[in-house]
A and B are shown apart, each in its own frame.
Chain A
Amino acid sequence: MSAGHEAKISAAGVSVFYGEKQALFDVSIDIPARQVMAFIGPSGCGKSTFLRCINRMNDTIDICRVTGTIAIDGADIYDPKIDPVLLRARVGMVFQKPNPFPKSIYDNIAYGPRIHGVAKAGSQMDEIVETSLRRAGLWNEVKDRLREPGTGLSGGQQQRLCIARAIAVNPDVILMDEPCSALDPIATAKVEELIDELRERYTIVIVTHSMQQAARVSQKAAFFHLGNLIEVDDTERMFTNPRDQRTQDYITGRFG
């Protein structure tokens, strides 16, 4: 770990099974606070699976079983006392394909605060909506059309709307699963810029297929291969001087 950053998330011996099939093998990793950590690796290597362990989204898949421990701020999130519903308010998630609800832009943002009782309707809610949209860099584009459906926005705007929606419940951690893979280059650049700004307030974990993106947005990188975590390092060091042969092969494009 580089100096000055305590571990926000710390996983120890995490294995994941889909029915009989093991998808993740004994993964241990520390994810530092207020930085961007990129998960890279060939598809099917378990990046999304591990990401979904961090907000217990895997609980929604019947056949999925998780062993090992993951602690956020030192508290085990798989402790039976932890309510996964509340956990997910602290650990937001943004998906591969933008998935705004078929509701108005305003209601998309207000949805989280409403169900968690953070704010009632009215000026308090208006404020949360505005702050979230501003942080997601979307406010100026949508401030005159908050009552229009969120599904009417462009792909890139939709994805930033989803980020704003996640921010609205005031999380510590934001998980992003290939957030730009459905976007064009310009929209991608905007989202990457946004990620860089969000790093000030949030701990961010991003799964990405693109080496360039990992290099642009992340400070730390973790390389997964066939369900194993191969190496974790500063992004720059990993890309210039990987320790493992498989990492080297992947980064130089020999497979993936």
Chain B
Amino acid sequence: MSATSLLAIVLILSLIGYFWGRASAAGLKRGGQGMHSIPAYHGYFIALSCGIPSFLLVLIWLATQNTVIDTLLIAGLPAHITDGVETSRMSLILSEIKSIAGGRIFGTPDPALIAAAERYNALRGTASLAMVVSALAVAIAAMSYARSRVSPEFRARNSVDGILRWILIVCSILAILTTLGIILSLVIESMAFFSRVPVFEFLFGMEWSPQIAMRADQVASSGAFGAVPVFWGTIFISAIAMFVALPVGLFSAIYLVEYADKRVRSFVKPLLEILAGIPTIVYGFFAILTVAPFIRDLGTSMGLSVASNSALAAGGVMGIMLIPFISSFADDAISAVPQSMRDGAYALGATKAETVRQVLLPAALPGIVGGVLLAVSRAIGETMIVVMAAGLMAKLTANPLEGVTTVTVQIVTLLIGDTEFDSPKTLAAFGLGLVLFITTLALNIVALQVVKRYRERYE
């Protein structure tokens, strides 16, 4: 029986438990007993008590089963096969046994291996049978135990509440653990990288050419992992993006909040939201198919030489992507300034523009700054647009018409193709990822702090 159908049966058992509990409680109630909880809660209690333990059992079983079987297999192998074999070789032996067990036999394998394959199949059969039996046993035992607690005094309502609380706690712990796991794997891989390339050289080196540094003897001497040009590319493109997004987003927010009448607002706001909903890969198309050729033609006609993947095209399109982001933050911040501030300024004889510039913007500044920081962090982490539209060559240039590369682009290219996971080239991706992660995390924390402090001020 497959795990899926087993889980389906457990689910059905839970359902049965629910109706059973509800019916028995209802029976007690009809018998004139004053019940603490309504019958449905007794039903829920039985269903949860029956379903959750066996569900968890199945999950844990599936997670550990293979390791246990492997250990048993290895323990059962004759000495002439296992003697002096290291771990990586052992896993090859194991997969050979498993392919024999699956009927895919190449050449003439050692008879010991064939015997092992038979044992493997037997073990698997036993394991899956044992899983079914124990899961059902747990479900039924739990169900009858829960049923035995159905009584007028039993606080099923509170117990269900307690169980639900535990489910919620476990889910949030899972979310936290996954995050920690991701961070941990990032840190560990980065450590591996930094043990080969010194941190200092990585952070401050001016030369980035990881592709030629494939041979171990080249790494340290050539200094190919100096990431400054890559960081520069990210900073440069993000700066161009903010240069586009900040004024346009801010001014459109000011227009929408302070000048536009209701009809215009109800028309323009959803339009901006559509802009926010466009997948970044579509922006990428836009950048390479429309913006980049346009900039190149324009530049050529003015006698400038423009790279086909110029920083200007990538940054400009990224800026367009960030417009709705900035504008919605600025919109919120400006709208949150109390009407009395506007009244105060108008009553002193300030014009609309003066009121916006001297009263509303200063009052809304923290909120706007928070939004801008979040936008910067998005720009730094943005991948698709730059993968499509920015360059691959790391270059320290301040000319927006040349191509630069970014941290995200480098991570993608380092991990594509050559997937030997312990060469410095691939490990460099994790180093870059760690820097990216720390930067955006810091930006987000600062931004949220700024926004929060601002919120507290007017409430």
Contacts and interface: CB of A to CB of B under 8 A. Distances in A.
A169 B348 contact: yes
Given A57-B343, A62-B261, A95-B340, A101 B349 contact: no
A3 interface: no
A195 interface: no
B135 to A, nearest CB: 63
Given A62-B261, A99-B338, A101-B359, A57 B346 contact: yes
Interface stretch (A81-89, A123-131, A215-223): A81-89
Contact of B349 (A85, A95, A102): A85
A97 interface: yes
Contacts of A95: 340, 343-344, 347
A45 to B, nearest CB: 21
Interface string B314-338: 0000000000000000000000001
Nearest to B359: A101
A120 interface: no
A58 B175 CA distance: 54
B345 A60 contact: no
A62 B352 CA distance: 14
A93 B358 contact: no
A111 B346 contact: no
Nearest to B346: A60
Interface in B438-459: 457
A92 interface: yes
Contacts of B350: 85, 111, 115
A112 interface: yes
B345 A93 contact: no
Given A101-B359, A102-B362, A103-B362, A116 B340 contact: no
B351 interface: yes
A62 to B, nearest CB: 6
B143 to A, nearest CB: 63
Contacts of B347: 55, 57, 88, 92-93, 95, 166
Interface residues of A, number: 26
Nearest to A99: B340
A162 interface: yes
Contacts of A115: 348-350, 354, 358
Contacts, number: 64
Contacts of B340: 95, 97, 99
A34 interface: no
Nearest to A175: B347
B343 A169 contact: no
B115 interface: no
A95 B347 CA distance: 10
B342 A101 contact: no
Given A85-B351, A88-B349, A166-B348, A99 B343 contact: yes
A101 B363 contact: yes
Contacts of A111: 345, 348, 350, 358
B341 interface: yes
A47 interface: no
Interface in B114-158: none
A93 B349 CA distance: 10
A141 to B, nearest CB: 21
Most A CB within 10 A of own CB, among B341, B348, B349: B348
B10 to A, nearest CB: 60
A123 B15 CA distance: 84
B125 to A, nearest CB: 75
B180 to A, nearest CB: 40
A87 B304 CA distance: 55
Contacts of A101: 341, 344-345, 359, 362-363
B348 A99 contact: no
A55 B350 CA distance: 13
A165 interface: yes
Given A85-B351, A115-B350, A60 B342 contact: yes
A66 to B, nearest CB: 16
B116 to A, nearest CB: 78
A38 B53 CA distance: 76
Contacts of B358: 111, 115
Nearest to A55: B347
A215 B239 CA distance: 64
A63 to B, nearest CB: 10
Given A87-B349, A95-B347, A112-B348, 15 more contacts: A60-B346, A92-B347, A92-B348, A95-B340, A99-B340, A101-B359, A101-B363, A111-B358, A115-B354, A115-B358, A116-B349, A162-B344, A165-B344, A166-B348, A169-B348
Interface of A: 55, 57, 60, 62, 85-89, 92-93, 95, 97, 99-103, 111-112, 115-116, 162, 165-166, 169
> Lowest 9 A-B CB distances belong to which pairs?
A99-B340, A93-B347, A89-B349, A88-B349, A112-B348, A99-B344, A85-B349, A102-B363, A115-B350
25 contacts: A55-B347, A60-B342, A60-B343, A60-B346, A62-B261, A85-B349, A86-B349, A88-B346, A88-B347, A88-B349, A89-B349, A92-B347, A95-B343, A95-B344, A101-B363, A102-B341, A102-B363, A102-B457, A103-B362, A111-B348, A111-B350, A111-B358, A115-B350, A116-B349, A162-B344
